[in-house]
Structure formats: C-alpha cells, structure tokens
Chains A and B, each alone.
Chain A
Amino acid sequence: MIPVESESTSKEGTKIVYVSKENLFAYMKERKDEGYDILLMVTGIDYKDHLEVVYHLLSTSTGNRLIVKTKTDGEVDSVVPLWAGANWHERETWDLVGIKFKGHPNLKRILLAEGWVGHPLRKDYPLDKKQYVNLKENGEDYVSYDPREGY
C-alpha cells in the first residue's frame, strides 16, 4: 500500500486523496490494478504559491469514483503508460496550466499554437497582451506580438 497524505470528500461525496508527487505513479498503478479502468480527466489548478494536479478516476465494474490530488512545483510523472487517454489530457494541462509531465511521449501544446508565450490558466497570465498566430512555410505555427505578422 502506498501511503496517502490526507483524505477528504468533495461536495458531491467523492473521496479525495492527496498523494505526494514522488509516490504518484506507484499509487496510480495500484489504483489501476484495483479496477479503476477509466481516467476521466487531468486538471491543473494554480494556487499562486503552488500548483496542484487533479486526476478523476472511474471504475466501470464497481461504479466507484476517486479524485487524486498532488501538490507540485511544476513537474509530475506522466500516467500515459497506465491509461492511453491521459496523453491528450496531460498535453492540455501542460498547454493551459503549464505543468510538465515527465516521461510523456509527445508533450506539445494541443489547443494553443506551438510557440505561444505563457499558460492562460495561470492566475498571473497577462490578459492584456495580444499574441498573433501565423503559419511558417513548413506548416508549423509561430506566434508574434506584432499585429502585422498574423491574425
């Protein structure tokens, strides 16, 4: 059994478990073997002094749900080897919240253009700074602050 840091319940009654980021992968592997076969989503939350990664798990055989949370400073282990669906969710979390996933096969931005500056769901993201996206000759995106260089 991998130790958990603390337990609580969310407002609708789902169990929330805090795990240290060193134990995260081992803990998730244990849960996967226990029967949590669907990873519903990966979320990142910016609490200003630290970041938090939230995993929603579902077991379709028993109907149990579990929320796993980890406090981090910006990097956690990827769970793609356990659930293939984590691939896009982790890319999105990197894209919008700026949390790196160690061991991810293709950690690129997914919703925003490659080369975008900053992560919009961080609380200190500058909303007044406009960025313009354009295409290079080879079909890749690039971003600039000059309105004449993009749309």
Chain B
Amino acid sequence: MEDKVIEVNFGPQHPSTHGVLRIKVKLDGEIIMDAYPVIGYLHRNAEKLSEMGAYPKALIYIDRLDYVASLNNELGYVLSAEKLMDAQVPERAQWIRMMLVELNRIASHLVWLGTHGLDMGMLTPYFYCWRERERILRIFDEITGSRLLYNYFAIGGVYSDITPKAIDMIKEFLSDFGSKLEEIQAIFAKNYIYVKRTRDVGKLSLEDALSYGVTGPLLRASGKKWDLRKNQPYLYYDQVNFDIPVRQEGDVYARFQVRIEEMRQSIKIAQQVISKIPEGEFYNKKFSKPMLVRLKGTGDSYVPTESPKGEYGVYLVGDGSTIPYRVRIRSPSFANLSALPIMLKGYKIADLTATVSSLDPVFGEVDR
C-alpha cells in the first residue's frame, strides 16, 4: 500500500495559488493523504524594515502587505501607533477612515470573487468583478491620488480631505452596486457545476478553526458569530447598523455566501457613514506633517481590527525613541493558511484549487 503514495508539488508557480504558494501533496490515487504548505517565497521582512525608520515611515511597508486591501492594513497600524502616542484623532477623520475601509473591503472581496471564479473554471465573473472594482479604485484615485497603494492614513488623521466630487462618486457607486452584486452572485449560485464543486468541499469544523487561530469569513462560515466590528468595536462601528452573516456548514460554498453577504453589509455601512460624516478638521494639528517623523512612543499596544481576511493588528513596542523597537504584524492569512492541511485531507486533488482559493490568501501578507 505504502509504495502507491506519490508526492506531487503544487506550485509555487501555478495560476491558482494566488501568488507563490507551494504545497507538497501526498496522493493515493487522486485522494489527498497529506498536504504540507511551503511559504516564504515573497518574504521581505517588513517587520525588520519597519524597525529601521521613524513611525510613519513603516506605513509604506504596511501598505504592501495585503496589497488588495491596503487601507485596512494601514488602519491597524495607525490605530496601534495612536494608542502608543496617546494621540487624539478628529471625528471627521475617523468617519472618513471607516468609509474608505468598507469600500476597500468590497474591493478586496471582489478580487477574491473574480479569481475564485477563475480557479473554478469560470471566466465571465472575473470581468464583472473587475469592472466594479475599477469604480472603487477610481474613487480612491480621486481621494488619495493612488489606485493600489495609498499611504493615506496618517498618525493623527488622514493626509487629505475628501472632496465633494468623491462623495458624489461614492454615492453613485453605492446606489447601483447592490444590483450588480446580485448579477454576479447569480452567475455563481445558479451554476449547477459551481455549487456541486463547492458544497461539502474543504470542510473546517469550528473546533479546528479556533485551535488554528482562524478568523474572519472562514470562522464565520464555520458557525461562529465573531466579528470585531460588532464584538469589540473600534472607530465608530458601534454607531452604525449592520448584521454579521454566519453559516454553519464550514465548506467552500459557505465561505462564498458569507463573503457575498459581507459585501452587502459593507454597502449598508458605507451608506450610513456617508450621511454621518461631520464637518471639521481631517487631522490633528499637533500631528502636522513635519512633526510626524519626530513622534515618540513608549510601552506596547495592539489594536485588533477586522480586515477582509480576518483579525489584523500590529503589535508595537516603543522604547521612547522616534523608531519603533519591535513591530509584529498579526496577519490573518498566515494563520488561516496554517489550517489548510486539515481542510485538504481526504478530499480529491480536483478539490484542491477550490479549497485554496476559498481561503483568500494574499502572499504579501502571509510571507510579510
């Protein structure tokens, strides 16, 4: 029996590894006996680089972690840094942050949805998703001046105010994105082959999910109602009205449903935020741009935030100088990916791409 087991390398250069993931798969026929993910191909040691410059300088590395949801990454860092320096942030800046983070969550889920379709052999939804994401990127371009890596959130506020034109663009996007999402969802959910290939595939039980530190949509698809925006609110999430989608099945299809529903909730949040943005300053005058590199921090702080992939946060240790002593990035994809072997064991090799893409791993964040 033993000699029938063969070892196959999946990746690192394979179109459905979402970057550079290599999985050593042990196969008995077409059944996966064991899987061993190998990571590190995109490692740049962002933590060490962040420990070499002043506090705001780390932001450009933080941007490049989860490069499809840069603003969510920046948020975790600036919230931690502000706690470290006891900085006050104007209300307007917090509301602007909240709105952009929700838009970026939609953009990140759209990237996932499009590439997930590709992995399942569907080319059509990819173009639909990219069309909608393009509209979000244009909004970001109008507000921040960049399309992908923004460097927009600063310690003590945001770098520039939002313009009336940007508000109009956001309103226009939010008004009809819901119906477009309906269309995209129908392409997947009404496709017999897609549903057959994802139901009861890549199952993750709740005990395993908790033990492996899995968070975000994966944990919610495994039946735990846990969302930091609701359970431990940061920014002003306690002042807006939204639901947490939960599924009990823990398979690939459940994760698809959870992410689609999350996009709907993000629309709901953004619509409420846009009517609530108050007038006022968009940054704290004490933290004007020339002052930023002179900021000093002591003690340690870790502010958890709900990024599109799960719990994201930056653990900062300051020694009283202008340079952070230790920066540790808690990236959700890293923990989520470590649970991959138990999701693959016992399934067929054809289910591998479905399971891997349902994790939504982004390798800038896994390898840091």
Chain A positions near chain B (C-beta within 8 angstroms) = 10-12, 14, 16, 37-41, 43, 45, 54, 56, 58, 60, 63, 65, 67, 83-85, 87-89, 92, 96, 109-113, 120-121
Contact = CB atoms under 8 A, between A and B. Distances in A.
B48 A88 contact: no
Given A40-B311, A45-B326, A85-B213, 15 more contacts: A10-B299, A12-B303, A37-B210, A37-B211, A38-B215, A41-B213, A43-B328, A45-B317, A60-B226, A63-B232, A88-B334, A110-B39, A110-B40, A111-B43, A121-B47
Contacts of B338: 84-85, 87-88
B323 to A, nearest CB: 12
Contacts of B334: 88, 92
Contact of A11 (B215, B299, B368): B299
Contact of B300 (A10, A38, A85, A111): A10
B39 A83 contact: no
Given A12-B83, A121-B48, A56 B211 contact: no
B194 interface: no
Contacts of A16: 300
A41 B338 CA distance: 12
Contacts of B211: 37, 83-85
Q: Which of B213, B231, B313 has the most CB of A within 10 A?
A: B213
Nearest to A14: B302
Given A11-B301, A85-B213, A85-B338, A40 B330 contact: yes
Interface string B301-337: 1111000000101010100000001101010001100
A88 B300 contact: no
Contacts of B231: 63
Contacts of B299: 10-11
A60 B224 contact: yes
B191 interface: no
Interface in B40-98: 40, 43, 45, 47-48, 51, 80, 83-84, 86
A65 B315 CA distance: 14
Nearest to B47: A121
B212 interface: yes
B43 A41 contact: no
Interface string B225-244: 01000011000000000000
B212 A85 contact: yes
Given A10-B301, A12-B303, A85-B338, A60 B210 contact: yes
B174 interface: no
B326 A39 contact: no
Given A11-B84, A110-B40, A120 B48 contact: yes
B183 interface: no
Contacts of A39: 213
B225 to A, nearest CB: 9
B243 to A, nearest CB: 18
A85 to B, nearest CB: 3
A109 B316 CA distance: 24
B118 interface: no
Nearest to A10: B300
A65 B232 CA distance: 11
A110 B338 CA distance: 11
A42 to B, nearest CB: 9
Nearest to B334: A88
Task: List the 8 closest A-B pairs by CB distance, nearest first.
Answer: A85-B213, A11-B301, A111-B40, A85-B212, A88-B338, A111-B43, A43-B328, A84-B211
A38 B310 CA distance: 13
Nearest to A87: B338
B367 interface: yes
Contacts of B300: 10-11, 16
